Structure 1
């Protein structure tokens, strides 16, 4: 396993320019990076830095963000995926989707089926283009409403139901911990459905090892299950760039 770094938040010592943060990641021995929304990013400058360093852009988020569980949003979801596909092909990157918020008064099964339906169509677009979609469970509560997919377990159930080689789960240990889910148990035996793993510690979303998440157990399960992908560092550093990476590597055994 190797590290990837979210350059929205990591390597702040390199300055605000994402291209410079890519160069900083390379200098620190981090072979892949990720960022969030793509439309306002300086893609040409990012491409130049990636080509210069050999660092890979692992993933970015589809935008605008729309609901997977509300059929009224489905055409907008598909349009957003279609817009993102040329970027994914340019950088050989995965595209990340979240579910949207739970719909009050709508049966859970109906919302589950709606997410499966639109993801089947979106995954087919991705498959035809030769790129990947990652569904990310996200713990977020606004006005009392939680995201419909906020646990790894539910996300894996949806990925399994979609049953497409172009859709996998982005398993984020931080969001999982926010729901009190047992992350290691949730991924055990279902690794084939997982495309990527991201980490940050609770509370505060800082370096692994600064909080309560049992990283040794999580990393042991990943190794035993045969996970060989990247571990995405998506956290707010509490110390300098070098010290932050050192702490993360130590906590994760990498």
Structure 2
């Protein structure tokens, strides 16, 4: 396998196959990413349930292996995302389902070498305060960390865009870091997604510079529209330069909605 085949601003780029190549069936996107020059991919949890039939998971891993790609990022199960759910960490009544998924993700970590895992926080229930939510989430974040830390894995906490993800209580870097500090758990870091943070008015360059030591992974998309870099107005080149200059050396996940019918035509920003 050829390493580091796609780089941008001195950083290695992975293709998120859950959102790129929407013109193809999910299992066909791995080979498409390889053919586009990527050596690595990341993915949301590709099933509506936390523990799918084994054949389904085996098919995903076979597509990954068949394409000769590394898996560099994976989401834990987050509920029914097409229906609008955005995580179960703050919902104690769903923790048994989430724990079963955490165990399975641990197996994926061992099998694939994947080391970054996004645990979406969840939307506040009626009457649930942000403080109560953080207390509920802390325990399951520790369990997730324990499941992947034996393989050198990191669990990620991601702020999401306001107005697009229901009553999701973490929308800024400051809010995410406050929750991480409250959890006081080793092995949990910030997922720095330029679309979500930029949509919410975060100063991307300043945040990247100030908090690079808390950032476990970076994902890139523009705003408005969540398209490829250059399709919106965010200062993405400056942000990536700031990250690199501040010492970030991890992957950048290309996690955007292509504005072109053929995803390959959206890769001009990587030239």
Whether the TM-score (by the shorter chain) exceeds 0.5 is yes
Q: How many angstroms apart in 2 are the aligned matches of 1:58 and 1:175?
A: 20
Q: How many angstroms apart in 1 are the aligned matches of 2:21 and 2:180?
A: 33
Equivalent position to 2:130, from 108, 113, 126: 108
Q: How many angstroms apart in 1 are the aligned matches of 2:137 and 2:126?
A: 16
Q: Residues 190 and 48 (structure 1 numbering): CA distance in 2 closer, same or farther, change over 3 Å?
A: same
Residue of structure 2 equivalent to 1:158: 179
Task: Provide Cα deviations, 1:134-190, integer angstroms capped at 9, x if missing partner.
Answer: 222222547x95201222332233334434443222211111122222233233332
Q: Residues 180 and 92 (structure 1 numbering): CA distance in 2 closer, same or farther, change over 3 Å?
A: same
Q: How many angstroms apart in 2 are the aligned matches of 1:4 and 1:244?
A: 15
Q: Does 1:244 align with 2:266?
A: yes
Task: Provide Cα deviations, 1:183-207, integer angstroms capped at 9, x if missing partner.
Answer: 3323333223222111111111111
Map of 1:154-233 to 2, 5 A cutoff? 154-233=175-254
Q: Residues 16 and 106 (structure 1 numbering): CA distance in 2 closer, same or farther, change over 3 Å?
A: closer
Q: Residues 214 and 71 (structure 1 numbering): CA distance in 2 closer, same or farther, change over 3 Å?
A: same
Query: Relative to structure 2, which stretch is displaced further, 197-206 or 112-121?
Result: 112-121
Secondary structure of the residue that 2:31 maps to in structure 1?
helix
Q: How many angstroms apart in 1 are the aligned matches of 2:133 and 2:208?
A: 23
Q: How many angstroms apart in 1 are the aligned matches of 2:91 and 2:67?
A: 42
Residue of structure 2 equivalent to 1:35: 43
Q: How many angstroms apart in 1 are the aligned matches of 2:223 and 2:259?
A: 13
Q: How many angstroms apart in 1 are the aligned matches of 2:166 and 2:22?
A: 33
Q: How many angstroms apart in 1 are the aligned matches of 2:135 and 2:207?
A: 21
Residue of structure 1 equivalent to 2:32: 24
- Give the count of matched residue pairs: 246
Q: How many angstroms apart in 2 are the aligned matches of 1:47 and 1:83?
A: 13
Q: Which runs of 5+ in 1 are unaligned?
A: none
Residue of structure 2 equivalent to 1:98: 120
Contact 2:90 2:121 in 1 (8 A): yes
Q: How many angstroms apart in 2 are the aligned matches of 1:208 and 1:52?
A: 29
Q: Which runs of 5+ in 2 are unaligned?
A: 1-10, 80-86
Secondary structure of the residue that 2:143 maps to in structure 1?
helix
Residue of structure 2 equivalent to 1:8: 18
TM-score, normalised via structure 1 length: 0.83
Q: How many angstroms apart in 1 are the aligned matches of 2:229 and 2:153?
A: 30
Alpha-carbon deviation of 1:64? Answer: 4.8
Q: Residues 217 and 121 (structure 1 numbering): CA distance in 2 closer, same or farther, change over 3 Å?
A: same
Secondary structure of the residue that 2:90 maps to in structure 1?
coil
